[in-house]
Chain A
Amino acid sequence: MDLYASLPISQLAAVGKGAFTEIVDIVAPSSAPAGSRVDITVKIKNLYSSTIGIMVGGALEYGVSPWPTITFPSPSANVGPGATYSFNGYFTMPSVAVTIHAYSYYYAEGSWYFDDERTKNVTVAVVYQGTISRKELEYNESRAAIPASNIPKDKRGLVHIWGRNDMTTTQQMGIWWEVKDPGGIIRETYAKWETFWTGPGNAQEFIGGRFNLDKTGTWTIAVQLFMNPADQVVVDDYYGTLCTVAAVVPEPEFAGFGVTDYSKI
């Protein structure tokens, strides 16, 4: 039998922390961008044999004194025996890694008593920034900006996409795109990480494979630009028209021209 669960609530203050509550988990992202709101959930279990009042508290450890607190809009609740209650809170991510320090308290004899604690680290997430800076469709010897219009039917299409590194650090960029014809059929899928790295402010060109623009109508393309190959992040995308393809109209041509008759009128 659990020693603590058998004690009357009036004696809880004498037992010490962790006696009647247990922080079973802190749900929070492992990393978050600086300045962003970080939502967390502290799950606290009632270890006592009957309902008790439980309160959550929290602070951030990262070298600032006093530790900034974590906001819990509803910091306390009556929790049934054996039940686990989730307390939702949030904080603003500083520019350095932090340790979430969560505390649990139980209520007895008119006061809250500190009982358990748990920590979880959150690192500063790198915010990857890049832009699809240029899109072109090459068809035979010509090029047009995407979305292109009135491309003659039966040309050979070739997509060129440029990704720009908008960060202050050198990055490796990747690309993915998918071209669909007017019938919705996938005509080209292309994916590639650049072999080397691209400096801040510079752009990397990606060139796909050729495909036949053999249907009239609107062709579409979906493009995603990536960074961070180890845990790829989409930094920009484009979903829309690749081009409109028009039927080829030959140069004016006459045939069978003849006088059929002449008459008085």
Chain B
Amino acid sequence: MQSLYERQVGAILGALGVAPPGKLTITQGEAVRMTVSFNYRGKAINVTLRCSIGTRIAGIFYESVYGTKSITLPSTSDWITRTEYADINTQGCSPSANYDIEAKISEYTSATLVKFDNVIDVIGAPEFESFRITDYSKA
């Protein structure tokens, strides 16, 4: 849960990021922005950044939700550095702790796939039950 201070800073600066392998706690349905950076050289290409949240079991990543973003890279003989992000809708994530994440350029998975385990906790959306008036009295 964010502190009041974190919320105030977040309101000023926008989204507050967590550097891996730090843990980010979200409420189910909140969007997560995953930011990546990389170096590139080669011909001009269009690729897809895919960022995922899921669960790794026995080395196999079971993707729960993901976000993508199309990226256009220019023709360059020299290395260039790019920073990109993809937003992930977490509505499909069941409330649970210790989700894993992955990010990659889909067309160049072997060269780009990165993964971190146990970095996102998803708590359930606010929920009320058995709300009723139990009594009323002079205060």
> CB within 8 Å of B: which residues of A?
247-265
Contact = CB atoms under 8 A, between A and B. Distances in A.
Among A248, A251, A254, A260: residue with most chain B CB under 10 A: A254
Interface string B24-64: 10100011111111111111010000010000000000000
A256 B83 CA distance: 11
B87 interface: yes
A249 B108 CA distance: 18
Given A249-B75, A253-B41, A259-B116, A265 B33 contact: yes
Contacts of B26: 264
Given A261-B20, A262-B20, A253 B111 contact: yes
A258 B36 contact: yes
Nearest to B104: A257
29 contacts: A250-B41, A252-B42, A252-B43, A256-B38, A256-B39, A257-B104, A257-B111, A257-B113, A258-B36, A259-B20, A259-B36, A259-B51, A260-B19, A260-B36, A260-B37, A261-B17, A262-B24, A262-B32, A263-B17, A263-B18, A263-B24, A263-B33, A263-B35, A264-B15, A264-B33, A265-B14, A265-B30, A265-B32, A265-B33
Majority secondary structure of chain B interface residues (helix, strand, loop or mixed): strand
Interface residues of B, number: 45
A254 B39 contact: yes
